Amino acid sequence: MPDEKPVLLRVRGVGRRYAGVTALAGIDADVRGGEVLAIVGENGAGKSTLLKILSGVVQPSDGSLEVADASGALRAVELDGVRGATKAGIALVHQELNLAENLDVAGSIYLGREPSRLGWMDTRRMRREARRWLDLVGLDVDPSTPCGSLPIAQRQLVEIAKALSTESRILILDEPTSSLTHREADRLLEIMSALRARGVAVVFVSHHLDEVMRIADRVVVLRDGRKTGELARGEYDRAMVERLMVGRDIAPSMRRAANGAAPVRLRVEGLVSAHRRRAPMSFEVRAGEIVGLAGLVGAGRTEALEAIAGVSPHGGRVLVDGLEVTGGSSVRVRRGIAIVPEDRARNGLFLEDAVSVNMSLAWVDRSSRARLVDRRGERGLVARMIDRMQLRPPHPARRVQTLSGGNQQKSVIGRWLAIDPAVLLLDEPTRGVDVGARAEIHAEVRRLADAGSAVVFASSELEEVLLLADRILVMHEGTVAGELAAHEASEVAIMHLATGGSAAHGAKEHA
Amino acid sequence: MKKALGIIGIFAAIFIVACIFGENFLTGINLMQLTQRAALYSILALGASLVIVTGGIDLSIGSVVCLAGIMTPWLLVEHEWAPAQVIPTVLLMSAFIGLCHGLLVTRLRLQPFLVTLCGLLLYRGIARWMTGDQTQGFMGEFGEVRAIALTKFAIPGIENYRIPSTVIPMIVLAVLIGLFFSRTVWGRWLLATGRNESAARYSGVPTAWLVTMSYVACSLLAGFGGMLFIFDIGSAQPSDFGNFYELYAIAAAVLGGCSLRGGEISVIGVVVGAATLQVLRNTIILVGLSSQLEFAVIGAVLLVGVAADELIRRFNARRLERTGAAASA
Amino acid sequence: MKKALGIIGIFAAIFIVACIFGENFLTGINLMQLTQRAALYSILALGASLVIVTGGIDLSIGSVVCLAGIMTPWLLVEHEWAPAQVIPTVLLMSAFIGLCHGLLVTRLRLQPFLVTLCGLLLYRGIARWMTGDQTQGFMGEFGEVRAIALTKFAIPGIENYRIPSTVIPMIVLAVLIGLFFSRTVWGRWLLATGRNESAARYSGVPTAWLVTMSYVACSLLAGFGGMLFIFDIGSAQPSDFGNFYELYAIAAAVLGGCSLRGGEISVIGVVVGAATLQVLRNTIILVGLSSQLEFAVIGAVLLVGVAADELIRRFNARRLERTGAAASA
Amino acid sequence: AGDLVQAQKDRIAAYKAKPKAKSHVAFVSNGVADFWTIAKAGAIAAGKELGCDVTVEFPGGGLGDQKRMLEDLLIKGIDGISVSPIDPTNQAEVLAMVAEKSLLITNDSDAPNAPRLCYIGMDNYDAGLMCGKLAREGCKGGKVAIFIGRLEQDNAKRRRQGFIDGLLGRTPDPTRYDEPSKVFTEAGYTIVGTWTDSFDRAKAKANIEDVMIKHPDLALMTGLFEYNSTLAVEVIRQTGKEGKVQLAAFDEGADVIAGIKEGFVLGTVVQDPYGYGFESVKVLNAFTKGDMSMVPASGVINIPARVIRKDNAESFWKDLKAKLKAGKEAGAKK
Ligand SMILES: Nc1ncnc2c1ncn2[C@@H]1O[C@H](COP(=O)(O)OP(=O)(O)OP(=O)(O)O)[C@@H](O)[C@H]1O
Ligand SMILES: Nc1ncnc2c1ncn2[C@@H]1O[C@H](COP(=O)(O)OP(=O)(O)OP(=O)(O)O)[C@@H](O)[C@H]1O
Ligand SMILES: [Mg+2]
Ligand SMILES: [Mg+2]
């Protein structure tokens, strides 16, 4: 019986206000041991804020928290800072990455809790124990590797390993699967069930409702900072949750047929990126076509996109509309190649600047006369883009840093949609974006393609690749392992190619 | 503008103290001389802020002031060049120095602190070597060239106070730089580069080029400032001319609201910051404090000023959060 | 260690040049004096690197050197305190200065550059005011106290060269700081804080406390260094003693592989960096270059050195990449 | 100290038996200035005339730098050093070290308690006195301001005190000391203060401007370092106060001489740096030949200061330019 499960953490009337916004108001919830609690809601609904309050990173403006002590009795606490939360047995994986890149993997996992005697660190033991947690999350890197050299998905796994290694009673995960591929995400869900079986309370946020469906014992739905529903397993279905989240039904996004006779806009010939890739890759994308890059973590999708965009050096040729482009990103952007990077905090956003500055950066160049910014036009554009991207809250003067993760992503995409680039490269375009907004972003990308642009996107979600792409390139070990048309593609076929199977075989098996 | 409020408050406070306690502070000639000094230092501070906005730093400003300042009379008097040759030569040399800094920083990716620290040593060394440590001066001649910095324009109806000519380049520069950042694409790009270099690069901003140009502009202004300084002072010695001016320039920029992390600037703030330092020095003498205490007083006043500014800012933010909540509740 | 390779290469190059072209460079007494100077500057540079590793900067080092150095004879000679009272007082005062810096930086969140720039002005001003701009010296007395910095230990079997006593605190400090960063939890935390403050904070690291302690340690070492300097020199003038030492200290740290963005340190590099600057100055005189050229030569040599280091590094990286590619093909 | 002096004398006696064929002597200043460049010309001219090697060093960074340079010179192996000690009372060790390893004489500012064999120069107190008397002749009373680079140096203190005593017509007494911060009136003159600038010229000029603002009725100024006087002339010209504020100058700045010729500067007291350099090398070279006859019993070789007024300004200036030119050529050759 669910009621028998002990309450480890109780939230009573919790709210949080920032200057001018109420991020969260009047939330009541119980977190029980041996249960997985999912928190869902649109971008900006207040999920991260709630999780941060639960883990002591943010102090609530009102309301209270109660934590169970050793005997199981609930006691009101003020979690001021992470130390307090750790002492209360609570661990958090943040939505945005938070690793000190100069430390090694083991050092990052044990940062703040290094095995030591009188301050003297036992590095050997630390590395040994780190190995255990890395194996658990399925990350096959040496614990002495510096974090700075890991790609983003592996860093995310390091963060998860770090949270697991605290062996807390309450484990809180904010969109842990957003940068993972299927395989790792599955593994994480398995770990979560194992923890549940051991009586740990797991709280997690995800925009993938299928994950929620699979594992959650209870779901708390937030909308505009308020709780709009709490449902136990068996009481809900997907449509119901979506309705509670958005307040309406979401239209499923639709496949579209591309024009196979359109001229080639982007051609890539013999591309080898500078980081010791083995085989060169070549492909072309026609006007109006949306090409998806699929592959496992580390397959080289990010490297390929960054090479095409000119942000990292490469060999081989890149042609737009039949003319070769060379040089750095500034030249290529002027020739119409735009990239939405994978790591938005590091490579995409100007966090301390306003939404308007972030959104109009590319546009001001395109529309300038004699290099002067058209300020009236800029204001109009920003208003239009905020509306088109459904940014919430819709204030152009707000610092991007204070936006929720999904809304940050929308402002990066908006920057490029504002100038209709000839070639749009998207690396994980909907990471952290809610279901509703995802459909809107997909629609915008399709609109762009319909207007004649070539779109290439990389995504670790096969679902998204299958949904959005007209054609799928599967990458393995740095090059294209095979190509699938949208109608002949399936998850099985893609995985087959991604793990090194031959193209012919994959296609046949599918057929 | 908002970023400049803090330093404007500090400036106002010092000004009021100077009016009350300083003998003859509010006389035309004193204000005239103060305007002159503020204008000269502002030019350096504006240059410094251009580099600071990229997240870099230029420690060589004082030495470029020295080299440019020393070269001007050296070429005019010792080498008997014509003024029309000397001024472009000195400015070109300054710009070239900036170009070297910029290329070393952007192409070789050396740390700006290190590059410009070497510059600090190098250019002063060159100036000393070139002149054999001799004081360089105009020997009472070249009045018409020195008029660039020494002319004073009368304002009809106002006696005693006349506007020093150095105010003109200062205002022109301040307005240009202000417009550059608020109105031009390059200004936008430079701010973006300072905030997040990598994101700017991903967005197609030619970051290396822009940063290089900032260093060029900074050194160019330092060279120009050095020329005006020597026109004003009349003679200078290579071993000490311009010493520490980089710190005054950077301090003015930072006081004026530039963050050393880059991406922020307030032109008004920078100019007021430079003026504040000069008024403070003047006040110390007019109030009659011993010149031994000058440093201590400047340090203490600035520290108290910025700390108070920060506390007021916080207090306001907290009030806003509380009232903001009330409004939305 | 790897980060220190560049500066070790530069050091070796200068050393070889000095051996070949410098008159009497390789004599015991010259090496002894060089050891002394290198040890003194290393102590300051180690302090500077502790703050740099947090991503901050301390511009007040030179002024703290001045204040601590001036106070020592002032208290001993003018106020006739006992040495056993003076030394702890001066060190406590230095630590207190660092504490103020640390609190202003971490609690009020003021920019380190600004805080310590005010410090630079303030402490020298205090020293000048306290002493009325009079040179402070030991008047030929206090030999037993000054022995702390002036004793030289003979090495059995080696003539001419004896080890200066200042080497002892320098080595002890270097070893302690080295162990601190490689072996202790706090060192680890400090590194993490320097690179990504919020990541460290989210991991429960007491970042504010650690950063504050870094400033305390830096000023404490500056004060300690200032005391050793005055023991060595015998007297000093408040208006110029310690001038620019912060730049030498920071330059040594940065040359030695510290990044001003924080999170990186190499203790060996810092010590070699400090030694390099001193050997260079010595070489310039022994080679017979005019002292006017000193600055220019130091600036040029360092610039060429770091640029060459960077180019070699890149060349190696590219070769590695190419051979790596070959191996995997 | 006595022992070290005796030891040096013994070494000179030994040179008598075996004179050094080509000696190597050094001249070390107390800072960087035009004054020293002229001295360098003198030293190098003497070296050429006498056939000995001369090294000239200008420490730019104060005491520490001077110490370092002396140390380095001794390591280089030098026969004799003429030094202008920045702070003789506190530099006893380093001077003793020079005396121990080489032959020590002082120039410009003396170190009577150090083991120096002789002093070459003038008395700064006497020079100050001359300047004060010059001022007293040209200005019969009123407010007086003193500008000086810094007061830390012994020569600066003595020069200032000499000026005050001369101006006020006191009986000369070099041990007297008036607090720089004290404002006092005596014999019809009010000394309103002494301002320093640590060699920052922009600051020095600002000082003069500010003081003239503070005291619009200032009657007399003096700039006791070369650039203080030069800048005072500059400020007087710029503010159009020629003749309204009197200036008693020090040293031979070009603008100062021009001002004297024009008539609004009372005059200037000049030293003979060329002589300091020349005599230093000459004496040291003689030592290495075993000859001590040039040193008088008092141990002071006096090279007196001179007062330049309107009548002798022109001839003085011509002579100086010739020496400067020689100095520059010597510098270029080095
Ligand atoms: N520091 C801050 N200052 C001002 N507003 C903030 C701040 N942090 C968050 N907010 C606001 O609080 C609201 C809730 O944000 P939160 O990050 O909790 O959303 P979320 O549900 O996690 O969204 P997402 O799915 O996009 O991650 C948003 O409107 C956001 O703009
Ligand atoms: N700067 C670099 N230096 C060295 N190796 C790199 C660098 N960048 C990427 N790599 C390596 O290249 C491989 C491909 O990385 P990439 O990020 O392109 O993969 P991906 O397919 O985009 O996977 P992900 O799902 O992690 O985004 C990884 O193994 C990574 O370690
Ligand atoms: Mg979130
Ligand atoms: Mg990727």
Which of B27, B32, B33, B74 is most worth mutating to test chain D (most D CB atoms within 10 A of its CB)?
A: B33
- Which chains are within 8 Å of D by 3+ CB pairs? B, C
In angstroms, the separation between the Cα of residue C67 and the nearest Cα of chain D is 16
Which atom of ligand 1 lies closest to the CA of A49?
Answer: 18
Q: Do D230 and B27 touch (CB under 8 A)?
A: no
Residue ranges making up the domain that contains A112: 100-166
Report if residue B328 sits inside a domain.
no
Q: Do D213 and B291 touch (CB under 8 A)?
A: no
Which of A58, A365, A399 is most worth mutating to test chain B (most B CB atoms within 10 A of its CB)?
A: A365
Which of D76, D89, D98, D154 is most worth mutating to test chain C (most C CB atoms within 10 A of its CB)?
A: D76
What are the pLDDT digits (tens) for B238-297?
888 898 899 999 999 999 999 888 999 999 999 999 999 999 988 887 887 766 788 899
pLDDT value at position D234? 84
Q: How far apart are CA A231 and CA A229, in angstroms?
A: 6
What are the pLDDT digits (tens) for A278-310?
688 999 999 999 999 998 878 889 999 999 999
What the block records as the tokens of D177 is 């000391």
In angstroms, the separation between the Cα of residue D57 and the nearest Cα of chain B is 12
CA-angle at B289, arms to B283 and B292, nearest 5°: 110
What the block records as the tokens of A304 is 């390929």
Report if residue A258 sits inside a domain.
no
Report if residue C212 sits inside a domain.
yes
Residue ranges making up the domain that contains B89: 24-314
How many Cβ atoms from other residues are within 10 Å of residue B159's Cβ? 8
For residue D103, the cross-strand partners are: D80
Element (H, E) at A236: none
Q: Indicate if the pLDDT at residue D14 is higher than 90.
A: yes
For residue A221, the cross-strand partners are: A40, A229
Report if residue B289 sits inside a domain.
yes
**Is the shortest distance between the CB of A15 and ligand 1 below 6 Å?**
no
Cα D147 to chain centroid distance, Å, stands at 16
pLDDT value at position C281? 84
In angstroms, the separation between the Cα of residue C298 and the nearest Cα of chain D is 15
Q: What is the CATH number of the domain that holds A69?
A: 3.40.50.300
Residue linked to tokens 């460290």: C200
pLDDT value at position A253? 60
Q: Do A278 and C328 touch (CB under 8 A)?
A: yes
Report if residue B225 sits inside a domain.
yes
Look up the pTM and report it. Answer: 0.90
Q: Which residues of A138-166 are buried (b: 16+ CB within 10 A; e: fewer)?
A: bbeeebeeebeebebbbbbbbbbbbbbbb
How many Cβ atoms from other residues are within 10 Å of residue A130's Cβ? 24
pLDDT value at position C123? 96
Report if residue C320 sits inside a domain.
no
> Which residue's CA lies nearest to atom 14 of ligand 1?
A46
Percent pLDDT > 90 in chain B is 68
Q: Indicate if the pLDDT at residue A508 is higher than 80.
A: no
Q: 3-state class of B93 per DSSP?
A: helix
Q: Indicate if the pLDDT at residue A334 is higher than 70.
A: yes
Of D323, D328, D281, the closest CA to residue D50 belongs to D281
Which of A86, A111, A278 is most worth mutating to test chain C (most C CB atoms within 10 A of its CB)?
A: A111
Q: Which residues of B touch C119 (CB under 8 A)?
A: 299, 303
By CB neighbour count within 10 A (0-12 exposed, 13-18 middle, 19+ buried), where does B175 fall? exposed
Q: Are strands A423-427 and A314-320 parallel, antiparallel or unpaired?
A: unpaired
Q: How far apart are CA A40 and CA A221, in angstroms?
A: 5
Task: State the pLDDT confidence band at A252, using cuts at 50, 70 and 90.
Answer: low
Q: Do C134 and D63 touch (CB under 8 A)?
A: no
Instruction: List, as one string, the DSSP characters of A161-205.
Output: HHHHHTT-SEEEEESTTTTS-HHHHHHHHHHHHHHHHTT-EEEEE
Q: 3-state class of C43 per DSSP?
A: helix
Q: Which residues of A touch C328 (CB under 8 A)?
A: 276, 278
Amino acid at position B203, single letter: S
Residue linked to tokens 């060159």: B126
Q: Do B245 and B61 touch, CB atoms closer than 8 A?
A: yes
For residue C191, give the nearest of A92, A103, A123 by CB distance.
A103
Q: Are strands A471-476 and A454-458 parallel, antiparallel or unpaired?
A: unpaired
Q: Do A18 and B321 touch (CB under 8 A)?
A: yes
In the DSSP assignment, the letter for residue A399 is B
C-alpha of residue A12 to centroid of ligand 3, in Å: 21
Q: 3-state class of A270 per DSSP?
A: strand
C-alpha of residue A341 to centroid of ligand 2, in Å: 13
How many Cβ atoms from other residues are within 10 Å of residue D244's Cβ? 14
Task: State the pLDDT confidence band at A382, using cuts at 50, 70 and 90.
Answer: very high
What are the pLDDT digits (tens) for A91-136?
999 988 888 888 999 999 999 889 888 888 899 999 999 999 999 9
What are the pLDDT digits (tens) for D188-207?
999 998 888 877 777 788 88
Q: 3-state class of C89 per DSSP?
A: helix
C-alpha of residue A149 to centroid of ligand 2, in Å: 9
Report if residue A77 sits inside a domain.
yes
- For residue C326, what is the nearest residue in chain A, using CA coordinates? A276
pLDDT value at position A506? 42
Amino acid at position A473, single letter: L
Who has greater pLDDT, D101 or C1?
Answer: D101
Q: Which residues of D touch C27 (CB under 8 A)?
A: 75
A158 with A179, same domain?
no
Report if residue B105 sits inside a domain.
yes
Q: What is the CATH number of the domain that holds B141?
A: 1.10.3470
Cα B141 to chain centroid distance, Å, stands at 28
Q: Do B165 and B150 touch, CB atoms closer than 8 A?
A: yes
In the DSSP assignment, the letter for residue D185 is E
Q: Which residues of C touch D67 (CB under 8 A)?
A: 233
Q: Which residues of A touch B200 (CB under 8 A)?
A: 350
In angstroms, the separation between the Cα of residue C162 and the nearest Cα of chain B is 33
Size of interface A-B (CB pairs under 8 A): 98
- Which chains are within 8 Å of B by 3+ CB pairs? A, C, D
For residue C324, give the nearest of A98, A162, A276 by CB distance.
A276
Of A115, A195, A100, the closest CA to residue A150 belongs to A100
Report if residue C30 sits inside a domain.
yes
**Is the shortest distance between the CB of A394 and ligand 1 below 6 Å?**
no
Cα A396 to chain centroid distance, Å, stands at 23
Amino acid at position B57, single letter: I
Q: Which residues of D touch B292 (CB under 8 A)?
A: 196
Report if residue C325 sits inside a domain.
no
Q: Which residues of B253-279 are buried (b: 16+ CB within 10 A; e: fewer)?
A: bbbbbbbbebbbbbbbbbbbbbbbbbb
Contacts with B274 (C-beta within 8 Å, 6 or more apart), sequence order: B38, B41, B42, B44, B45, B248, B249, B252, B256
Candidate of A403, A409, A411, A431 to mutate for ligand 1, largest count of ligand atoms within 8 Å of Cβ: A403
A73 with A150, same domain?
no
Q: Indicate if the pLDDT at residue D324 is higher than 80.
A: no
In angstroms, the separation between the Cα of residue D34 and the nearest Cα of chain B is 6
pLDDT value at position C60? 97
Q: 3-state class of C304 per DSSP?
A: helix
Q: Do A350 and B321 touch (CB under 8 A)?
A: no
**Contacts with A, C 44-83, CB within 8 Å:** none
Q: Which residues of C touch D73 (CB under 8 A)?
A: 285
Contacts with C204 (C-beta within 8 Å, 6 or more apart), sequence order: A81, A82, A83, A86, A112, A113
Q: How far apart are CA A316 and CA A318, in angstroms?
A: 7
In the DSSP assignment, the letter for residue C75 is I
Q: How far apart are CA B282 and CA B41, in angstroms?
A: 14
Is the peptide bond prior to A393 cis by the omega test (within 30 degrees of 0)? yes
Q: 3-state class of A481 per DSSP?
A: strand
Q: Do C175 and C49 touch, CB atoms closer than 8 A?
A: no
**Is the shortest distance between the CB of A435 and ligand 1 below 6 Å?**
no
Report if residue A503 sits inside a domain.
yes
Do A and D have ≥3 inter-chain CB pairs under 8 A?
no
For residue B154, the cross-strand partners are: B162
Of A183, A148, A454, the closest CA to residue A299 belongs to A183
What are the pLDDT digits (tens) for D276-311?
999 999 999 999 999 999 999 989 999 989 999 999
**Contacts with C, B 209-248, CB within 8 Å:** 247
Q: Do C98 and C213 touch, CB atoms closer than 8 A?
A: no
Q: 3-state class of A479 per DSSP?
A: strand
**B233 contacts chain D (CB < 8 A):** yes
pLDDT value at position A510? 41
Contacts with C69 (C-beta within 8 Å, 6 or more apart), sequence order: C226, C227, C229, C230, C236, C241, C242
C-alpha of residue A46 to centroid of ligand 1, in Å: 6
Q: Do A452 and A288 touch, CB atoms closer than 8 A?
A: yes
Report which listed range, A433-447, B152-166, B184-198, is most confident. B184-198
**D240 contacts chain C (CB < 8 A):** no
Residue linked to tokens 């051991």: A198
Which atom of ligand 1 lies closest to the CA of A403?
Answer: 31
Task: State the pLDDT confidence band at D52, using cuts at 50, 70 and 90.
Answer: very high
Of A55, A119, A67, the closest CA to residue A92 belongs to A55
**Is the shortest distance between the CB of A393 and ligand 1 below 6 Å?**
yes
Of B3, B66, B32, the closest CA to residue B167 belongs to B32
| Ligand 2 binding residues, C-beta < 6 A | A 151-153, 275, 295, 297-303, 342, 460
User: How many domains does chain A divide into?
Assistant: 3
Q: For each of chain C's 329 residues, which pLDDT tens digit applies?
A: 577 888 999 999 999 999 998 878 888 888 988 899 899 999 999 999 999 999 999 999 999 999 999 999 999 998 999 999 999 999 999 999 999 999 999 999 999 999 999 999 999 999 988 887 777 888 778 889 989 998 889 988 888 788 999 999 999 999 999 999 999 999 999 999 999 999 999 998 999 999 999 999 999 999 999 999 999 887 787 877 888 899 999 999 999 989 888 899 999 999 999 999 989 988 887 887 766 787 899 999 999 988 988 888 888 877 766 654 443 33
In angstroms, the separation between the Cα of residue D124 and the nearest Cα of chain B is 23
What is the average pLDDT across A38-46?
92
What are the pLDDT digits (tens) for A461-497?
888 899 899 999 999 888 898 999 888 888 888 888 9
In angstroms, the separation between the Cα of residue D58 and the nearest Cα of chain C is 7
Of D313, D302, D227, D299, the closest CA to residue D264 belongs to D313
Q: How far apart are CA A55 and CA D310, in angstroms?
A: 86
C-alpha of residue A342 to centroid of ligand 4, in Å: 6
Q: 3-state class of A55 per DSSP?
A: coil
Gyration radius (Cα) of chain D, Å: 21
Which atom of ligand 2 lies closest to the CA of A152?
Answer: 26
Q: Indicate if the pLDDT at residue A505 is higher than 60.
A: no
What is the average pLDDT across B104-116?
94
For residue D90, give the nearest of C29, C235, C281 by CB distance.
C235
User: How many domains does chain B divide into?
Assistant: 1
Least confident of A331-340, B115-124, C132-141, C276-285: C132-141
Who has greater pLDDT, C90 or D44?
Answer: C90
Report if residue A387 sits inside a domain.
no
Instruction: Reduce the secondary structure of A247-262 to three states and give it as a string.
Output: CCCCCCCCCCCCCCCC
